[in-house]
Amino acid sequence: MAKFLTSRSEDYSQWYNELVLKAGLAEPSAVRGCMVIRPYGYAIWEKMQQQLDRMFKETGHVNAYFPLLIPKSFFSKEADHVEGFAKECAVVTHYRLMNDPDGKGVVVDPAAKLEEEYVIRPTSETIIWNTYKNWIQSYRDLPILCNQWANVMRWEMRTRMFLRTAEFLWQEGHTAHATREEALEEADRMIKIYAEFAEKWLGIPVVMGTKSASERFAGALETYAIEALMQDGKALQAGTSHFLGQNFARAFDVMFAAQNGEREYVWATSWGVSTRLMGALIMAHSDDNGLVLPPKLAPIQVVIVPIYKSDEALAGITAKVDGIVKKLQAKGISVKYDDRDTQKPGWKFADYELKGVPVRLAIGERDLANGTVEVARRDTLTKETLPLEGIEEYIPALLENIQDTIYKKALDFRNSMITKVDSYEEFKQLLETKGGFFLCHWDGTPETEERIKAETKATIRCIPLDSPEEEGRCMVTGKPSSRRVLIGKAY
Amino acid sequence: MAKFLTSRSEDYSQWYNELVLKAGLAEPSAVRGCMVIRPYGYAIWEKMQQQLDRMFKETGHVNAYFPLLIPKSFFSKEADHVEGFAKECAVVTHYRLMNDPDGKGVVVDPAAKLEEEYVIRPTSETIIWNTYKNWIQSYRDLPILCNQWANVMRWEMRTRMFLRTAEFLWQEGHTAHATREEALEEADRMIKIYAEFAEKWLGIPVVMGTKSASERFAGALETYAIEALMQDGKALQAGTSHFLGQNFARAFDVMFAAQNGEREYVWATSWGVSTRLMGALIMAHSDDNGLVLPPKLAPIQVVIVPIYKSDEALAGITAKVDGIVKKLQAKGISVKYDDRDTQKPGWKFADYELKGVPVRLAIGERDLANGTVEVARRDTLTKETLPLEGIEEYIPALLENIQDTIYKKALDFRNSMITKVDSYEEFKQLLETKGGFFLCHWDGTPETEERIKAETKATIRCIPLDSPEEEGRCMVTGKPSSRRVLIGKAY
């Protein structure tokens, strides 16, 4: 069997890039830092979208759509926000091209210069709060629980497919509330939804926590994040939910008449996950043979490959398989019967391994005679021969088992990679030799945080929500600390 | 009851604008020519998307995602395309803002000028064919049947919500084929899918046909369109499917090794519908009381309003309604029970009429005693009192009936507005007094087409696919013609 991929141990980064390309997930485009999401990659993203959308709607949210472009001046309205977002972004300055007067091609028409430039949204708080101003007069108009599925652009210097691209797809929730408590509850609700989605669907355990002040979203009073661990021991921030206080309401003058008759500023949250989750999914589970997909997100859950020498034998197998396909589909399982005669079974096996199809059934002529089928599972790469009769009962349970096994494996790995350390020297050493997450005492100052980052490239990933109160001393300065924080090198 | 809307007869255009705003479908934004699609409008668009996506997938298509930005030079590669699209579009020239050195706010950083400008996609043929070049080597790689759900921008001078906006949402299918015949079949298949969707889901009858050469998509050899008629007698192009020949393959050098070993250029189609369909939906069916939605696209299909004087009475009604809601939901019907005590029943009735909810059930204390319910249908504005018992059997049939009735009403109207004329004088007169579609003989020249447009503002909407061969003479020039074409004033 041909080896498709550089191994993880050889070069993890190279392995990732090759896998994204060769499994047909995405590829670079002619536009700097932007990728093309190929059909197989997009099919996985669609499954993520469907489930997230369901979870958002079950918690009372509705979808809407706001403009792609944002007037430049909007960015100056919220002081922190302009620092965080208005800088590296795509700027629209003109609205027309014209034929080049000097020859071939087209040039920008200098006469078509915009009075005020527009920025392609890097995130939509500003344009949305400018809109909410018209929607909100009284407490009766609250809460507003809107979500948007959209593309956004940030002019990133170093890009990697899915993990950090100039354009990416995401959802951004933007909610408006009458009270601080309600907004805090919403921010908390949404980070928990992200955590549930990560664990139950992506099969990725996450640490939920709050960001340190310097890592907060630009304009937020509190940022909640879920942090996942990749197989190379690096952390990946997989989703964030922000408590924005009244900052955007003040910036865009959004007030409401409260029940007591007072006029007050509206409280806000925003929260989002993006196609970055694709990167997390790929890096958390896959192996040197290719993708490993949790069944709940696999575009093809079961592939059936016939093994035959004659057309007659194929016809016999196909007749049998047709019945199995129907029975599996009736159970809501997505099945593909690959009877192409242009490729050999071995090539197909390797290709579906590369693509991460959770279950492969192979049926040969002898199987047909014996009433058996070979069942291979992608996660463990194990095979067993089972009776064909009743296979449609076995497969759904197997898919559930694979979903659980993938999660447990990731959980065990993640847990084995959380290290409690109390000495900065030990931290620095283990960071290089072992990697992963570290639970350490920190004195809570931005200076110490900055020093850790400058000296080790590790950052405070979050202050875990479930981290218990514990008296201790900052591993760097020795100053008192009351709880441990999660530190690691991040993507 | 307060009158919410200007009537259609008073001012059709004003009626439309008010309806879009007051029914909560969309509103203007701070960005020139761009709208905000509000949650209720977006919920209808989502239903359209879901059904179209299903129809695309059933016919073998897959989704993918291509970059928002297109290098300026790509537009010069296909000669007709640059004329049609590269002109009025949003141009990205810089990638950074900076703090204004002279004071407050932010300005474009002159140092961050792009070497080559990007255009925000007005349509994606160029970037997609530049990508397909990497995907296609041999006939085995064909066909490629990709669709993309995306936002696009065209810098329109005069905009109207949903009908013509600078940014709009759409889907664009882009397919690649080994033969001319296969590509023509695909273009034909997709316009038929659009027609089926328009008739069975939007409830709008359409005329399918080909565009005259001058109305073709920029770069197409043939453009198929579906043309719908609005209540004011104006035509609306609701979807197009283009046979692109080998134009884009030549422009981007996309060749494949055919089965016979020859290298040939790939054949292409593209096809799309957009949020313009929302405009068609609104204008085709709605009345002076508000929206009329076909049940298949209604976010809320059934609303239940309790009519009560005491909390005790409400509790009794609610207990009964809960059972009905569950039974209807079990049948896949979306039901809303509106027991808000902040609004009176009459206000709710008018509001749900404005929002086009197909069926309204009202249950009062007497109904509860009698075991009855008042059933009102939005399309005919009729009411009847029926037994509560078995109402869950009645409603699904009623929804189907409403769907059919809405379509038949639109069909009867449309058919009554197709006029055959043979004299240009009569055409001009009837165009002003009656409006609608006209079936006329045309000599097939762009000059005559242009003259009709210049003198009457009417355009050749399409050459209907089902228009029979018929000897005749052009109504303008008297030159011979072999079949009638469809003419009308268009949105």
Minimal CA–CA distance to A208: which of A216, A220, A196? A196
pLDDT of residue B84 exceeding 80, the answer is no
pLDDT per residue as tens digits for the range A419-438: 999 999 999 999 999 999 99
What residues form DSSP beta bridges with A99?
Answer: A106
Identify from B54, B61, B65 which residue to disrupt to test chain A contact, counting A C-beta atoms within 10 A and taking the largest count. Answer: B65
Residue B28 contacts residue B47 (beta carbons within 8 Å): no
Predicted confidence at residue B3, as pLDDT, reads 67
Give the Cα separation of A20 and A115 in Å (integer). 42
Chain B residues touching A88 at Cβ < 8 A:
95-96
By three-state DSSP, how is residue A137 classified? coil
pLDDT for residue A1: 43
What length is written for chain B? 491
Query: Which residue in chain B has the smallest CA separation from A154?
Result: B95
Q: Say if residue A208's pLDDT is above 70.
A: yes
Closest CB from A43, A67, A98 relative to B31: A67
Cβ(A36)–Cβ(A29) below 8 Å: yes
* Residue A154 CB contacts under 8 Å (≥ 6 apart), including other chains: A85, A88, A89, A122, A166
Q: Is A79 left (phi over 0), alpha (psi -120 to 50) or beta?
A: alpha
Q: Would strands A144-153 and A62-63 be described as parallel, antiparallel, or unpaired?
A: parallel
pLDDT value, residue B196: 98
Check whether A232 has a pLDDT greater than 60.
yes
**Cβ within 8 Å, pair A29-B66:** yes
Categorize the per-residue pLDDT at A3 as very low, low, confident or very high, splitting at 50, 70 and 90.
low
Whether the pLDDT of residue B326 is over 80: the answer is yes
- Match 């240009």 to its residue by tokens: B424
Specify the pLDDT at position A101.
81
Angstrom distance (rounded) from CA A131 to CA A66: 9
Residue type, A114: L
Of residues A46, A95, A151, nearest to B151 (C-beta) = A151
Whether the CB-CB separation of A166 and A152 falls below 8 Å is answered with no
Asked if A68 lies within 8 A of B37 by C-beta distance, the reply is no
* Nearest alpha carbon to residue B358 among B286, B422, B258: B286
* Burial class for B93, CB neighbours closer than 10 Å (0-12, 13-18, 19+): buried
pLDDT of amino acid B423: 97
B123 near B85, Cβ under 8 Å?
yes
- For residue A131, give the nearest of B29, B68, B134 by CB distance: B29
pLDDT of B1 above 80: no
Reply yes or no on whether the pLDDT at A405 is more than 60.
yes
Query: Which residue type is seen at A271?
Result: W
pLDDT digits (tens, 9 = 90+) for A408-422: 999 999 999 999 999
Which pLDDT score, from 0 to 100, does residue B451 have?
98
**Taking CA atoms, what residue in B is nearest to A38?**
B64
A116 contacts in B (CB within 8 Å)? Answer: none
| ipTM score of complex | 0.96
pLDDT above 50 (res B221): yes
For residue B204, which of B487, B407, B471, B443 has the smallest C-alpha distance? B407
Residue numbers in A near B75 (CB within 8 A): 97, 106
Residue A118 C-alpha, separation from nearest chain B C-alpha, in angstroms: 8
Q: How far apart are CA B483 and CA B440, in angstroms?
A: 8
* Dist CA A148 CA A275 (whole Å): 14
> Rounded CA gap, B123 and B224, in Å?
17
pLDDT for residue B67 is more than 90: yes
Tens digit of each residue's pLDDT (9 = 90 or more) over A456-480:
999 999 999 998 999 999 999 999 9
**DSSP β-bridge partners for residue A113:** A94
Instruction: Write the DSSP assignment of B412-456 as a string of letters.
Output: HHHHHTEEE---HHHHHHHHHHT-SEEEEE----HHHHHHHHHHH
A5 touches A15 (CB < 8 A): yes
Once rounded to an integer, what is the mean pLDDT over residues A150-164? 95
R_g (Cα) of chain B, nearest Å = 26
Q: If you ran DSSP here, which 8-state letter would residue B178 be given?
A: S
Concatenated DSSP letters of A72-107: GGGGGSSHHHHHHHSSEEEEEEEEEEEE-TTSSSEE
What percentage of chain B has pLDDT greater than the value 90?
93
Q: Do B65 and A90 touch (CB under 8 A)?
A: no
CA atoms within 13 A on the CB side of A21: 15
Tell me what the mean pLDDT of segment A395-417 comes to.
Answer: 98
Using the predicted structure, report yes or no on whether residue A248 has a pLDDT greater than 60.
yes
Q: Which of A294, A237, A296 is nearest to A271 (CA)?
A: A237
Q: Are B177 and B246 in contact (CB under 8 A)?
A: no
Cβ atoms of B286 and B7 closer than 8 Å: no
Distance from C-alpha of A72 to C-alpha of A471, rounded to nearest angstrom: 48
- H helix and E strand count, chain A: 13, 26
Averaged pLDDT, B330-345: 96
Query: What is the pTM assigned to this prediction?
Result: 0.97
Q: Which two tokens stand for residue A162?
A: 């899915």
Q: Which segments within B218-261 are labelled E, that is strand?
A: 222-229, 235-245, 255-257
Nearest to B42 among A64, A117, A119 (CB): A64
Mean pLDDT along residues B207-226:
95
Q: What is the rounded CA–CA span in Å between residue B97 and residue A242?
A: 25
Q: Is the dihedral of CA A41, B52, B223, B37 positive or negative?
A: negative
Predicted local confidence at residue B342, as pLDDT: 87
Closest-CA residue of chain B to A90? B95
Among residues A171, A31, A81, A36, the alpha carbon closest in space to that of B92 is found at A31
Q: How far apart are CA A268 and CA A172, in angstroms?
A: 13
- pLDDT value of residue B86: 62
Residue in B180, B339, B326 with CA at minimum distance from that of residue B266: B180
Q: Do A69 and B36 touch (CB under 8 A)?
A: no
Q: What is the pLDDT of residue B83?
A: 73
Q: Are B91 and A150 in contact (CB under 8 A)?
A: no
Question: Does pLDDT of A352 surpass 70?
Answer: yes
The H-assigned helical ranges of A113-207 are 125-135, 180-197
Cα distances from A288 to residues A9, A17, A24, A416, B54, in angstroms, run: 9, 12, 16, 21, 35
DSSP assignments along A52-73, one per residue: HHHHHHHTT-EE-B--SEEEGG
Length of chain A: 491
Task: Give the residue among B282, B234, B344, B411 at the shortest CA–CA distance from B2.
Answer: B344
Tens-place pLDDT, residues A8-65? 999 999 999 999 999 999 999 999 999 999 999 999 999 999 999 999 999 999 999 9
pLDDT class for A75, splitting at 50, 70, 90? confident
List domains and CATH numbers for chain A. 12-285 (3.30.930.10), 295-404 (3.40.50.800), 418-488 (3.30.110.30)
How confident is residue B245, by pLDDT bands cut at 50, 70 and 90? very high
DSSP string, A268-337: EEEEEEETHHHHHHHHHH-BTTB----GGG-S-SEEEEEE-SSHHHHHHHHHHHHHHHHHHHHTT--EEE
Choice among A377-386, B47-56, B99-108, B155-164 with the minimum mean pLDDT: B99-108
Average pLDDT on B397-408 reads: 98
Q: Are A488 and A461 within 8 A, CB to CB?
A: yes
Min Cα separation B22/chain A (Å):
12
Q: CA A256 to CA A251: how far, in whole Å?
A: 14
| Shortest Cα distance, chain A CAs vs residue B445, angstroms | 28
Q: Write the CA distances from A191 to A143, A197, A271, B104, integer angstroms.
A: 18, 10, 8, 35
Residue with tokens 């055409």: B427
The one-letter code for the residue type at A226 is I
Average pLDDT taken over every residue of chain B = 96
Closest CA to B424 of B380, B376, B463, B458: B458
- Calpha distance B121→A329 (Å, rounded): 39
What average pLDDT does the segment A326-345 reach?
Answer: 96
Contacts of B96 in chain A (CB under 8 A): 87-89, 91, 155
How near does any CA of chain A get to the CA of B385, in Å? 33
Mean pLDDT for the stretch of residues B5-34: 97
pLDDT for the residue A94: 97
Closest C-alpha to B17, from B153, B9, B25, B230: B25
- What average pLDDT does the structure give for chain A? 96
Q: How many CB atoms lie within 10 A of CB B128?
A: 27
Chain A contact probe: residue of B46, B91, B124 with most A CBs at under 10 A: B91
pLDDT value of position A326: 97
| Angstrom distance (rounded) from CA A475 to CA A443 | 8
Contact B45, B264 (CB under 8 A): no
Q: Where are the beta strands (DSSP E) in A342-403?
A: 359-364, 372-377, 383-387
